């Protein structure tokens, strides 16, 4: 049985760009579009405005995620992936793109540049202790579970 959809209000700061929507039923995120034409040289990064501002409810956050096709085909990623949009932020969403590829990449106004997923954020109380409980994993990290 499908869940009732969460309602998130938004403002298009550029009325010619599409409203947020899922490409397919069940998609985890909506596309974000470039508000400007931008060219990224190899190694260059840029904050690309999307023309979209959102009101994410308290208890949730927005994660701005890279597009996998851009990463695979063009070497385009996000500098701070994922980007975090707190529930209290009401400004324009910008996407911090970086060109990891070996050629200049151009995006035109209206092109899809990233995705926005809304995720729950629990209310957390931080409690300092003298020692943490033990686990089978221990303190290994950075690839410690594989060779």
Q: How many domains does the chain have?
A: 1
State residue 64's pLDDT score.
97
- Please give the pLDDT value at position 87: 96
What's the rounded mean pLDDT across residues 77-89? Answer: 94
Query: Is residue 138, in this structure, part of any structural domain at all?
Result: no
Is residue 21 one of the residues assigned to a domain?
Answer: yes
Q: Judge whether 110 lies within some domain.
A: yes
Residue at 131 is within a domain: no
Kindly report, residue by residue over 29-76, the tens digit of the pLDDT: 999 999 999 999 999 999 999 999 999 999 999 999 999 899 999 999
Question: Quick one: pLDDT at residue 96?
Answer: 97
Q: What is the CATH number of the domain that holds 68?
A: 2.70.40.10
Please check whether residue 95 is in contact with residue 77, taking contact to mean a CB–CB distance below 8 angstroms.
no
Contact 59, 112 (CB under 8 A): no
pLDDT tens digits along 113-146 = 999 999 999 999 999 999 999 888 777 777 666 6
The C-alpha atoms of residue 111 and residue 80 are separated, in whole angstroms, by 20
Judged against a pLDDT cut of 70, whether residue 2 lies above it is answered with: no
| Residue 48: other Cβ atoms inside 10 A | 22
Look at residue 142 in the predicted model and tell me its pLDDT.
73
Establish if 142 belongs to a structural domain.
no
Domain assignment of residue 146, yes or no: no
Q: Which of 6, 17, 43, 37 is nearest to 118 (CA)?
A: 6
Tell me the H-state helices in 50-104. 68-74
14 is in which domain, residue-wise?
A: 9-120
78 is a domain residue: yes
**Sign of the CA dihedral running 112, 84, 94, 40:** negative
- The answer to whether residue 147 is domain-embedded is no
């Amino acid at each position: 049985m499908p869940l009732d959809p969460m309602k998130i209000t938004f403002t298009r700061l550029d009325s010619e760009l599409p409203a947020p929507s899922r490409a397919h039923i069940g998609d985890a995120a909506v596309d974000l579009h470039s508000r400007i034409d931008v060219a990224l040289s190899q190694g260059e990064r840029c904050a690309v405005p999307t023309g979209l501002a959102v009101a994410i409810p308290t208890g949730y956050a927005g994660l701005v995620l890279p597009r996998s096709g851009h990463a695979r085909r063009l070497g385009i990623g996000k500098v701070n992936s994922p980007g975090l949009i707190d529930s209290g932020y009401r400004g324009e969403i910008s996407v911090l793109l970086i060109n990891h590829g070996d050629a200049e990449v151009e995006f035109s106004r209206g092109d899809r540049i990233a995705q926005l997923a809304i995720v729950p954020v629990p209310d957390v109380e931080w409690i300092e202790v003298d020692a943490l409980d033990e686990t089978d994993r221990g303190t290994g990290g950075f690839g410690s579970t594989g060779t």
